[in-house]
Structure 1
């Protein structure tokens, strides 16, 4: 009798040791994964200093993809990669708000603001419809639509934080943003010249149609200084649309969860915390309370966080994965790129 009672108690320390061991193992994996992303971000930012025309976030995605396809990345560091691609990215997106002032957007004029809203709304609707015709999943369509209509890889990852897409869908959308957005850098200046657009018109078109902020800066710089200033502000106005779009997606996810009878389960927030953080940072910058030095340091931190997150996402981009998804996401990316560019160009012609 005594032996039967003592046996379970003798096993208990072993079970606790196993739990502690797993916790230590996960903590080690998180630390190692984050450390790898920090190193990748440092390398990318170093290359970015040497080649200022290339944004470190884009470099980080490419470096991460190279690491994933040339080196065997151990699976035990996955918790750190996940932490970097989600937690660090959301903080970085929130801090991105410190680079934008409401007055900059209002200064564009209500006509241009209406065009920006139309670009984002029509871009998302058109991409979603085209993706449905191609037979792609709703989540894959959402990621591509947000990335190509709002602000590139950051919007893709932000949307994933709300709709919880599959990993291969997230990584495919990020890779497509890099490929098609990079192709747009020389294409917009070339077409603007052929169409006889002024510098201001070309800048508005670049800011309204190209995916990443960095890609917009590169393209606007090709056109000229006047175009670069307009392109950057128009693009940041598109970034501001991240908040209402994520709020809409959050509301839809809550409604769908309720419709499936999951009222008592954990539902996604109506407005994700990082979106509220983004709006709070925009308001803080607009208040004029922050000194220039703080804004510059915050920009460095924001770039570092987003670069580390992009490296983590890049590590998941494997050639075998892109082959396995088939051609349909690539077709949708091409359609979305052309569609957003056409809507933006029509908007430029209307307001100028």
Structure 2
């Protein structure tokens, strides 16, 4: 615990500052999620510290030992706590996210709306993975982009990151994973913000009804804040209500998607351990369904039963945001911004393709399945 305290303190202070600034940021950019802001803030701080650490280490002096500057010492002191935050606090946030979802809300869409949502999620996830392979985007990056665009933006990326963290790799692979998380969140923010402007305009141009427009927006826009901003720009309350329920239906698919990916990765680890020489001893196969996703489903069940008082749900929602902000800031500290900029063209193109796929699939499904 002593080793964790500096990093936990840094994450706590950063979370308090970011949450205090959230109202002003929301007023300036309603479609920008606090989670993305926290990730960007962490990336800026982490990159600045890493740059200062590199400048302070080359001198060896008379002792033959490399001089370690204050930035390097600060990074070494905070790393255990921020790594713990990025892993465990993130999973706690995913569990509490389940309290914001109930089965009854999802069923309000009826079978046509649910079919639109399920079709959009399946086609977007599979299509983005296929496009990622075609564009030669790293596997983890393509998986995170596919999850964020098909389900619920930053929260879905966070949940899938928790699955990937259960399969640790070499140090270079861990660094690439941090960059992949940053890229996926940046793409969600970029193309989701564009959708806030473009989709309501297209809905009016196509002559969609309020219910159709709301369903299209809820089934295709990434972040909850972006869905509210887009649907809220349309006249009438029907579009906003339909969009919100459709978004909740997409969130409900987070658990089976994450569980499926976890099971596939678990089998792959076991297969590698049994087929490669020297890899079959001491290899622990992770559980097919992550424990935090079991907690997520339990939270959904509690919310669906209606036994959790409304004040408790309000506190849980605020705590969920705080936990995600802390985790995103901690993840951002490990992002190498210069390398992300140098290698970001392919993920940027993948995000554009995924945005077209999710919007096009949802629109086609709405036109075919709804009157």
Sort the TM-score into its range (normalised by shorter chain): 0.7 to 0.9
Distance 1:49 1:137 in 2: 32
Distance 2:28 2:269 in 1: 47
Q: CA deviation at 1:284?
A: 0.3
- The Cα offsets for residues 281-329 of structure 1, whole Å up to 9 and x where unpaired, read as 1110110111211111111111221222233334445541322224111
Distance 1:30 1:102 in 2: 38
- Residues 321 and 33 of structure 1: CA distance in aligned 2, closer, same or farther (over 3 Å): farther
- Please report the TM-score for the alignment, with normalisation by the length of structure 1: 0.86
Q: CA RMSD in A?
A: 2.3
2:355 matches 1:337? yes
Distance 2:185 2:29 in 1: 22
Contact 2:148 2:222 in 1 (8 A): yes
2:314 matches 1:296? yes
- Please report the TM-score for the alignment, with normalisation by the length of structure 2: 0.82
Structural mapping, 1:164-243, within 5 Å:
164=165, 166-224=177-235, 225-243=237-255
Q: How many residues align?
A: 329
Match of residue 5 from structure 1: none
SS at match of 1:175: helix
- The Cα offsets for residues 128-181 of structure 1, whole Å up to 9 and x where unpaired, read as 111111112222211111111111122112212223462222222122222222
- The Cα offsets for residues 99-147 of structure 1, whole Å up to 9 and x where unpaired, read as 1110111110112112211111111110011111111222221111111
Match of residue 257 from structure 1: 269
| Structure ID, larger Rg | 1
Q: CA deviation at 1:256?
A: 0.5
SS at match of 1:223: coil
SS at match of 2:18: helix
Q: Compare the two structures and name the one with the higher helix fraction.
A: 1
Distance 1:259 1:70 in 2: 41
Q: Comparing 36-45 with 50-59, which one deviates more in the overlay? A: 50-59
SS at match of 2:4: helix
Q: CA deviation at 1:49?
A: 6.9
- Residues 49 and 342 of structure 1: CA distance in aligned 2, closer, same or farther (over 3 Å): closer
2:163 matches 1:162? yes
Distance 1:292 1:348 in 2: 33
- The Cα offsets for residues 170-218 of structure 1, whole Å up to 9 and x where unpaired, read as 2221222222222211111111111111221111111111111121111
SS at match of 1:282: helix
Q: Comparing 60-69 with 318-327, which one deviates more in the overlay? A: 60-69
Contact 1:152 1:177 in 2 (8 A): yes
Match of residue 96 from structure 2: 95
Contact 1:86 1:161 in 2 (8 A): yes
Contact 2:128 2:350 in 1 (8 A): yes
Contact 1:30 1:80 in 2 (8 A): yes
- Residues 168 and 151 of structure 1: CA distance in aligned 2, closer, same or farther (over 3 Å): same
Unaligned runs of 5+ in 1: 1-22
Q: CA deviation at 1:97?
A: 1.1
Distance 1:85 1:348 in 2: 38
Distance 1:339 1:175 in 2: 18
Distance 2:219 2:325 in 1: 23
SS at match of 1:136: coil
Contact 1:37 1:309 in 2 (8 A): no
Match of residue 85 from structure 2: 84
Distance 2:97 2:28 in 1: 22
Contact 1:33 1:78 in 2 (8 A): no
- Residues 115 and 80 of structure 1: CA distance in aligned 2, closer, same or farther (over 3 Å): same
SS at match of 1:289: coil
2:141 matches 1:140? yes
2:63 matches 1:45? no
Match of residue 58 from structure 2: none
Contact 1:216 1:231 in 2 (8 A): yes
- The Cα offsets for residues 328-349 of structure 1, whole Å up to 9 and x where unpaired, read as 1111111011001111111111
Contact 2:11 2:329 in 1 (8 A): no
Q: Comparing 106-115 with 80-89, which one deviates more in the overlay? A: 80-89
Distance 1:118 1:89 in 2: 28
